[in-house]
Each structure stands twice: as structure tokens, then as C-alpha cells.
Structure 1
Amino acid sequence: MTSRSSKATARTSSEARAVARTQTLLQGTNGIGTVRRTTLPGGLRVVTETLPSVRSATFGIWVQVGSRDETPTLNGATHYLEHLLFKGTRKRSALDISSAIDAVGGEMNAFTAKEYTCYYARVLDTDLPLAIDVVCDMLTGSLILEEDVDAERGVILEEIAMTEDDPGDCVHDLFAHTMLGDTPLGRPVLGTVDTINALTRSQVARFYKKHYDPRHLVVAAAGNVDHATVVRQVRKAFEKAGALTQTDAVPLAPRDGARTLKTAGRVELLNRRTEQAHVVLGMPGLARTDERRWALGVLNTALGGGMSSRLFQEVREKRGLAYSVYSYTSGFADCGLFGVYAGCRPNQVHDVLKICRDELDRVASDGLSDEEIGRAVGQLSGSTVLGLEDTGALMNRIGKSELCWGTQMSVDDMLARIAAVTPDDVREVARDVLGRRPSLSVIGPLKDKQADRLHEAVS
């Protein structure tokens, strides 16, 4: 006989399951997988891309929390927490977590950015249930023990030291600070030695509880996966952890905003005894939702995105002044950055800067030739497709798209948007972005007279 309470429980469970909504977002054609989304009770979203022709699968969970969500005293907490989720749960030790994936030849990792965090595992398709169980367990059942917080503190301090020993990497953090100042976006993702030493177990645990509820999460899986099966396994894991109790909750909307960067002519110099001077010259770019981002992508590719780009040809091929020189863009929810990086001998930094500044000014005023734009469109289209040739990249695409835009765009649509960029579009965005007064970040063995001249480079 079924008791009255059992009937009520069954009815509640049935009602919760009825809340789940499944949509086909992209229909697979020409080898492109079918993308589906299911929204579970509690606001948890599950998106999958099904490719029956492969034998692998990548499973990931994206969290809408990054270093920009930290207060000054919590700087580095998001990345600290990323480490701690690998340290053990109620059902698995740290060794159990790593050995479970190692035993099937899989790969497991995570990364933290300024606006999101991602945990993922790549395995054979037959081992996908294991990957789902392990990663979901990490996200919902982390213990965050005092002894683990203390032990991992040393690991993170070593990671900070490793980054600081690589000035070619560190200069990009310096550039973010130059452009964005002492703001959440301007502070380093890893935190600083002082903030990491000061973080406590209770601070990290509160941060975890606040940001890791289902409304903040997007579950993504790509490869030889069955959508309904993935949804069922994810739901089982989250329900077992008691994480889907708020059945009326809705997913968090993508970040938005309209922040305008007005930084111009700022210079930050970090004197280090390095063999090279590492330079980033740049200015405000575009937010990731700006429709002009397609034209900016073409501009970036033509200006500094490959061996045929202007900067590579002018700085490296014609004059031999640098081994590495390139341009890049960073788009956030409400603003963006455009930068040109070069690593060169300290006594040649002024020559390199002059060439880069002259090229930026020339493109801002005269634009690019139709030939350069056509070549950049082809290069960007090809790299876009080639970059999606494995299940990990596909998982990243659908997970990030759901979290950051709330929509999915097919590869064909992406290629169409790139192909639709006209020379006038590129010239217009070049005038708008490159026409602004740049700022400058430099790490290297700089003498006083050099420092004075570097300030003149952005005047």
C-alpha cells in the first residue's frame, strides 16, 4: 500500500519534472551536430551538441561567476574555489576524483576567467556517465575543508609566482589594470599574494554557496551524446545532492551593461631584469554583444592575426625587431579591450612602438585595402571552423554561448556573419577603435630616460 506522504512525494516529483522544458536550438546538417537545451527545475540549463560520428564526449559545467564578481578583499576567490572543488566531496576524495577519470584515459581540468568559470572532462563516449557523475559531484558536494584551503594556498601562491616569472603573460594583466584601473575587471584573476594569504575558509565557503546554485550554472555536453540521457543523468546527480529544490527558480540572465571606457594616454611601467621588453599598446575595444564585433574580428586578423598581417610583416619580417608580435581583442559584457603585443630587446622598444603606433594611426585614417580584408575574412572563417574540430571546442562554444548570450549560433551563421563584413564596416570600426588615443603597458629593464620617452609614445 502506498502511504499518503509517498503519494504527495511522487506528485511533487512529477510536478518538478513537468517543469523541465526542452528545445531544439539548431538542427544538425552537413556534419554539424544538433543542439538542444533543457531547462530543469531550479533554473539549471543543460545544452548538448550531438555528433554520432565521433567516439568521444566532453562534459562541462559553466558557472556565471568570475573575478569581476569579487570585492577587493576577495580578489582571487573565484580561482581559489576552482582549485578547492578538486579537493574532495562527501563521496570522493581528491585522489578518487582524479583517479576515476585517469582510469578511463580521460582528461579533466577547469579554468577561471573574469566573467565565468568552467569545469570539464573529456572521455570516451562510453564513459560519459562517469564524467557526468564526477563533475556534478564536484560542483554540488564540495567539502571545502580548512586543511584543504590551507594546503591549496601554497599551490596558488606558486601559480602566481609562475605567472610573474613569465613577463609575456604578466604584461596582459598589467594592461588590464592600465585600462580598467583598480576595478573588478582590472584586477588579476589569480588575485595577489596579499589577498590569497588573507582569504579564509569561511570567505571561500560563503562565495561558493552564493554563486554555485543551479540558476548560475550551464551544463554543456558535446560529442556522441544523447540529449535525453544526459539530462536524466544530470538531473539525477543534482537531485541526489538536493540542489534542485527551488522548482520555481529561473536561470540567471546573461550579464549586460553599457560601461564606456574613457581611458586614454595612460602608461604603466614595471621595471624587471628581463632579457626582453614586453609591450602592450592598446585602447578600448567593443563589448562582446556589440554587433560590430564581426568587423572588429576581421580588422584584428588583418592587422595582427597571422604571418601575413601588417604588424607581423612590418615589425618582424621587414625589420627583424621582434619574434612575437600580434594584436588581440577581449570582449566583456559591457566593454572591451584592443591590444597590440610585442616582445623585443629593450634598446629597440621605442622603434617597435613607433612602428605599431604608426600602423594603428594609418589604418584608423586610411583603412585597410580590399585585398587585406578579403584575406582576413578567409583566414578568420577557416580558423573558426578548424577551431571546432574536437568535442572540447564544441562544448566550449555551446556552453559559453548559453551563458554569455543566452542563444546558440550555428557555424554556418557564424561564417555568414563574417562573410557579410564589408570593407566599409572594417574601416568604420577601425576609425572608431583605433582612432582613440592609446594607453601603454611595459615590463622590462627600463632606464629613466627610456621611461620618459615611453610616456611620449602615447601622447
Structure 2
Amino acid sequence: MNVESTRLANGLTVVTDTMPGIESVAIGVWVRSGSRNEGEAEHGVAHLLEHMAFKGTRKRTARRIAEEIENVGGEMNASTSTETTAYYARVLKDDVPLAVDILADILTESLFDEEELAREQNVILQEIGAASDTPDDIVYDHFAETAFRGQTIGRPILGTPETVLSFTPAQLRRYLETHYTADRLIVVAAGAVDHDDLVEQVEQRFRSLAPMPANTPDLTPAVYTGGDFRHERELMDAQVLIGFEGRPYHARDFYASQVLANILGGGMSSRLFQEVRELRGLCYSIYAFHWGFSDSGIFGIHAATGSKDLPILVPVILDELRKATGDIDQSEIERSRAQIRAALLMSQESPAARAGQVARQMLLYGRPISNDELMDRLENITPGRLTDLAGRLFFDTTPTFASIGPLEGLMDFDAVSGTLSTGTTATAAAG
């Protein structure tokens, strides 16, 4: 890694990852603020602000923003997550100054015109409607809401139709001034980029950013609750999510949780895929995942199946979780490490992926982490450590259950909880 980092006088950090032999640059601004930073009356404002940043500034119309970047063959986009928001561009190396200028313009000079706001609110209402019509998407929203009941960390990022329509230009400006301060922003570029040149450009264009707000609201700590959500709908398939309290990024077991998720449901050779899909044919899709946040996490399994296989699906999954608490083979760990290493190295052939990876590391750890260090963290993971982790993950906390579709025959939540708390064989209980 050819990573350099500079912290400007106003607190903004500039990081570059130079990649010899390519002609393009991926550059972006990552903000340490997402949907979780919203107040009670601000549900959806972070995502709306991300949209509105492209809708006109003091010197550029929305159309001009799009035309200027596309006139040089570049592209721009943005995304909002639970704890961060990102604005990024991909351009040829000679066009980096233009990308910096546009990114600075949309983040420091946006107008938030009322007519543009009304149009974009309508766009997001359509986005919310589309998500509601997509069961394999909306089930994740219900899953997060159930895992963290009544908390901003569990709320859907898009907001609700009522909250989205309630926002005014003044509210957008207030959120921007509170959360988009220099101490919360990181500019990252990867590819054919010169560090000193980029620092000079960023220092010139982002100098108007306030170092930090006068009064930043404290982030409410996440409290995992777990629970049950079921929505009976006339669909061809049922979407089922089973989850448990995961580990935050800084926890010792974070990387072990990633490896365990890989072993259980990270590919075609994983335990759940082989047992549930290949040997039993109980579903057409199944995988495991681990989401880490700054102070909590979720370990989950998602499966999609027809109604006739639903009664036995969850018991078989629970039995595989129970087996993981007693026996994990070293060969499974080695395979998981190889998958993680290959994914890491393959992603680093892309400037956009490298910029995103460095940005996340800077936001979470305050420094870039080398590939060797990442792999070293995986070297200390043993079968005994994983079986111990599995026992604590699956049997020491209330599960989270979310399902949508034809749910007749789906295992009762109390039965799921009882099976996990006692460690009994679920398939035998299901008959």
C-alpha cells in the first residue's frame, strides 16, 4: 500500500493510495455521519441531504453538475449508511481538480432550492415504495428495527413518507452545519493521484468548512433487544432472517465473527449452503453475514424458500448453529481465510474499492491498515475460539426473527428461543 495521510489545519484529513500503472482516480468525501446521527424528528434527513447535494449550488445547476463531470467521461454518485455518508467520483487523472471542485461545491455551497427539494422528496417517496414492494429488501429493514427496537440505529435509512415530506431547506442546512464539519470529513483518493497536489487542492476548496460544530449531539449507545417480526403476505416465497447480537468493529471477536459467518454461509462450500440447499433442497438462497457498527453488531442468516419447505427450514438452520458450537474444523478456517484474502486482494485492483476501504479504516481506526496486518488478525483464530464464540453468539442473547411471505408452518418464536436456550435438536422437535 502506498498510502499517505495529511491532516489540514481545520481538522479535515486527506488520504491517498497511489496505484502505479493506471490512468484513473477514484476520489470521494466520507462523512462520519449517517442515519444513526439523526434526531427523533429527522428520520430520513441524512439520505435526503445526500440526494439534495447534487441539486444545485451557488455556481452550478443540477444539470451543470452532471454535465461537467460527464463531459470528461467521469461519473459521480453518493450513498448513505447507518453511520457514514459518502460522495464520490471516478475520473481520469488530469480531471482530479474538477472532481475536487465539484465535491467541494456540493458540500459547501448547496442551495437547497424549495422546488428541487419538492421534486427530490417525490423521488424518495418512490424509492420507499419500491423498497416496500421488494420483500427481500424490506425484510432487512424490519430485521434491523426488531434487533434495535425504538432506536435510530434500527430505523430504515430512507425515512418514512411523513418524515421525508416534512423536511424544509432550513432543516437540511441545520443538519449539514451540525454534522458536515471538517473534523468529521475525510477526503480519500486512490489511483493515479499525487498526494501533495491533492492536499493543496483540498485545502483551497474546503477551507470554508467549520472545524467542528459548537454543540454536536451525543450518539446514543446501541442496545440490542432482539424480538420477532412477521408479516403474512401473498407471495411465491417466504423471506426469513434469523439474527443475534454481533460484535462492533473494535471488539476482539469482530474478525472471528466474520470468519464464522463465512464458514456457516459464505459460499457454496459453506455449512448452511451444503446442508440446507444442496443436501435437503429446502431453499433456493441461504447465506450468513455479520454487520459491525461502532458499538454493536448483528450476526444473521437469510433464507428464501417456498411455503411447503418452511416448517423444516428453521429447525435445520438452528441445528447447524448448534453444531457450530461443538465442532469447527481447521480446514474450514483455512478456506475462510483464503476467501477473505482473495476478496481483499481482488478488490484492491479497483481504485474505487481501495478508496472505500481506506476511508472506512480511517473512520473506524484512525489509520490505514495494511493487508499483512489484516491477515495477521485472522491468523490467531482457532477452532476452539470459534466454537466458543458460536456458543456465546447463538445461545447467550435473545434472537432476532424477521419474516415476510406465506408464513404458515414457520417455527414459533418462543420455540426458536427455547431451542437456542436449551441447545436441543430442533429438527427432532419439529418432527
* TM-score, normalised via structure 2 length: 0.92
Q: Does structure 1 residue 323 correspond to structure 2 residue 284?
A: yes
SS in structure 1 at match of 2:28: strand
Aligned-partner Cα distance in 2 for 1:323–1:389: 31
SS in structure 2 at match of 1:458: helix
Q: Cα distance, 1:293 vs. partner?
A: 1.2
CA deviation profile, 1:122-144 (whole Å, cap 9, x unmatched): 11112211111111111111111
2:123 to 151, 155, 159: 155
Aligned-partner Cα distance in 2 for 1:258–1:426: 27
> Map of 1:11-410 to 2, 5 A cutoff?
32=1, 34-239=2-207, 242-243=208-209, 259=222, 261=224, 263-264=225-226, 266-364=227-325, 366-410=326-370
Q: Cα distance, 1:161 vs. partner?
A: 0.9
> Map of 1:423-438 to 2, 5 A cutoff?
423-436=383-396, 437-438=398-399
Aligned-partner Cα distance in 2 for 1:127–1:350: 57
Q: Cα distance, 1:451 vs. partner?
A: 6.2
CA root-mean-square deviation: 2.0
Aligned-partner Cα distance in 1 for 2:303–2:335: 23
CA deviation profile, 1:161-216 (whole Å, cap 9, x unmatched): 11111111111111111110110011101111221122222222211121112121
Aligned-partner Cα distance in 1 for 2:307–2:332: 31
Q: 1:258 to 1:183 in 2, by over 3 A?
A: closer
Greater shift in the superposed pair: 305-314 or 422-431: 422-431
Q: Cα distance, 1:452 vs. partner?
A: 7.3
CA deviation profile, 1:406-456 (whole Å, cap 9, x unmatched): 121011211222233222222222222123342210011334xx4673553
Query: Is the 1:63–1:118 Cα contact (8 Å) retained in structure 2?
Result: yes
Q: Does structure 1 residue 456 correspond to structure 2 residue 415?
A: yes
State the match for 2:423 in structure 1. none
State the match for 1:445 in structure 2. 406
Q: Cα distance, 1:346 vs. partner?
A: 2.2
SS in structure 2 at match of 1:36: strand
| Identity value in percent | 38
* TM-score, normalised via structure 1 length: 0.86
Query: Is the 1:377–1:418 Cα contact (8 Å) retained in structure 2?
Result: yes
Q: Cα distance, 1:260 vs. partner?
A: 5.3
State the match for 2:427 in structure 1. none
Q: 1:256 to 1:94 in 2, by over 3 A?
A: closer
Q: Cα distance, 1:218 vs. partner?
A: 0.7
SS in structure 2 at match of 1:189: coil
Aligned-partner Cα distance in 1 for 2:387–2:222: 24
Q: Cα distance, 1:149 vs. partner?
A: 1.2
CA deviation profile, 1:356-407 (whole Å, cap 9, x unmatched): 111112212x031222222212222212221222000111011111112212
Q: Cα distance, 1:256 vs. partner?
A: 8.7
Aligned-partner Cα distance in 1 for 2:331–2:3: 36
Aligned-partner Cα distance in 1 for 2:223–2:83: 17
Q: Which consecutive unaligned segments of at least 5 residues does structure 2 have?
A: 419-431
SS in structure 2 at match of 1:73: coil
Aligned-partner Cα distance in 1 for 2:21–2:394: 44
Q: 1:327 to 1:184 in 2, by over 3 A?
A: same
Runs of 4+, deviation exceeding 6 Å: 255-258
